[in-house]
Amino acid sequence: MKALFLSVSLILLSSVLSKLSASELGSSPVRFCDGLEEWPPFLFLERDQQGRKTTKITGASMAILELLF
């Protein structure tokens, strides 16, 4: 299931990125939206040493975005 999600995500993002020129990507931030719900392992908030939620978003979706951008 995880491999399917990653594959579909990469296909969708690559199709969007292929339509943008390098100059459009280089000068402006890329923004993504998602809900407030956590969907481990795809998207969730990191926890501190006491197990409390932090403000850093992490997970497989973030890993894909970091690889692409």
pLDDT in tens, 40-65: 888 899 999 999 999 998 988 888 88
Residue 12 · residue 5 · CB < 8 Å:
no
pLDDT at 32 over 80: no
Q: Which two tokens stand for residue 53?
A: 């939620």
Q: Which two tokens stand for residue 21?
A: 């020129």
Record the pTM. 0.55
- In sign, the C-alpha dihedral spanning 40, 37, 31, 56 is negative
pLDDT at 12 over 70: yes
The whole-number pLDDT of residue 53 equals 93
